[in-house]
Amino acid sequence: MSYYGTVVMTRAEVVMSRLPGIEAIGFRHRRLRELGGGWQVLETSGGDDPPDLEQAVGEAARSWKAPVFAAYVADVCTQIHGAQFHGTAADTATWSGHLPDPAEVNCGMLHRPSVPAGGTMDSLQAQIVGWAAGAGLTLSQARLGRALRYLLEWRDDSDGPYLDRVDQVFEVVRAFGFPVIPAPRAYEFDPHDLPFADVAAGMWGLAARALAAAAYRRAGIDETQPAHWEAEAITLERDLYASLYGGGHPVAELAARAEWVSAAYDAAQQGAPPPPSEITVKGHRVTNVQRITHDLGRQMIANQRAVIRAHGAPRPNGTVFTDPTAGPGIWPCLD
């Protein structure tokens, strides 16, 4: 299974999805866990990942006036994988480090900014220890050391359960004094159910397709004018996720807007030719992703909904088959 997205942790008096500027880190929120004492950890992603976490984390800490810890995770079927950590407080410089190997500046995945040269596991651990002390957290050095070095130094094929990179990041969160990760907070509504799914269903949704079309136009690949539904689809997706845990737009209003976007898209397709199967990029003919999403979008959304209905909970919280993170982790004996 692949994972792309950011895990971000901070202390706040409001739900993290309502914090100003959170969209610079991500706006497609997946799971929010409330750890206690105001500490929360959010899994999220954006429209053009990876984000520039060094800049985003620094700006967030100054805006929120709180310590911020974040990791962008890129993990593809365990073959190419990496997590880039960033942390800071309101009045300190942002530090960074990379897993599984802090010195592996070319891990095979894109990071923004690039992985800095000269990192070591000891220096990364020292940075995290300092951040936790400044944040007032009770750190488990044993758990932190094991979590950071899990893949690099001591794991072999016979060692215990497999940890992917996002599991490894949450083992670091456990080391901050939260050994038992709680279940995610329930959504106020399901963004993957109708009428919202047509707009917000990942790469197949109309918002993602509108963002892709805008990127094509900026690159000079697509010279057509934006369809009248595109701007509202992009705005609505952000409003949906900002309202996921309450405090945003009323659900009935969001549903009406989603129905309008879907109807406007359908009307625009009447009599219009489909996007071309191929496009020219830098002098080369390549497959047009917009044609794939045009042809398969609705069916893929229906398939996703069928899977979620078969395995999901009545009050969805971002999990589908099982909760990948809740509980004591794989080293419950470590304090």
Identify whether residues 167 and 203 lie together within a single domain: no
pLDDT of 184 above 90: yes
Identify whether residues 134 and 241 lie together within a single domain: no
pLDDT at 157: 47
Identify whether residues 125 and 209 lie together within a single domain: no
Give the E-state strand segments of the chain in sequence order. Answer: 3-11, 31-36, 39-44, 68-76, 80-88, 95-99, 278-281, 284-287
Q: Which two tokens stand for residue 48?
A: 């053009």
Q: What is the CATH number of the domain that holds 148?
A: 3.30.70.1270
Of 52-66, 68-82, 136-150, the one with minimum mean pLDDT is 68-82
Identify whether residues 21 and 170 lie together within a single domain: yes
Q: What is the pTM of this model?
A: 0.91
Identify whether residues 9 and 155 lie together within a single domain: yes
Identify whether residues 166 and 285 lie together within a single domain: no
257 compared with 324, residue with greater pLDDT: 257
pLDDT of 272 above 80: yes
The count of domains in the chain is 2
Identify whether residues 20 and 155 lie together within a single domain: yes
Q: Which structural domain range is residue 100 located in? A: 3-175
pLDDT at 161: 64
Identify whether residues 252 and 155 lie together within a single domain: no
pLDDT, tens digit (0-9, with 9 covering 90-100), for 132-183: 999 999 999 999 999 998 876 655 545 556 778 888 999 999 999 999 999 9
Q: What are the distances in angstroms from CA 49 to CA 4, 29, 112, 247? A: 8, 13, 9, 26
| Residue 304 resides in a domain | yes
End-to-end CA distance of the chain: 30
Identify whether residues 24 and 156 lie together within a single domain: yes
Q: State mean pLDDT over 13-34.
A: 95
Q: State mean pLDDT over 273-294.
A: 90
pLDDT at 315: 64
Identify whether residues 27 and 148 lie together within a single domain: yes
| Residue 182 resides in a domain | no
Q: State mean pLDDT over 13-23.
A: 94
Q: State mean pLDDT over 276-302.
A: 90
| Residue 302 resides in a domain | yes
- Average pLDDT value for the chain: 89
312 — pLDDT class (breaks 50, 70, 90)? low
| Residue 185 resides in a domain | no
Identify whether residues 226 and 108 lie together within a single domain: no
| Residue 330 resides in a domain | no
99 compared with 205, residue with greater pLDDT: 205
235 — pLDDT class (breaks 50, 70, 90)? very high
pLDDT at 200: 94
pLDDT, tens digit (0-9, with 9 covering 90-100), for 185-213: 999 998 988 899 999 998 899 999 999 99
Q: State mean pLDDT over 249-269.
A: 96
Q: What's 181's DSSP letter?
A: B
Pick the last residue of a domain from 143, 175, 207.
175
77 — pLDDT class (breaks 50, 70, 90)? low
What is the C-alpha to C-alpha distance for residues 105 and 145, in angstroms, rounded to an integer? 21
Identify whether residues 7 and 128 lie together within a single domain: yes
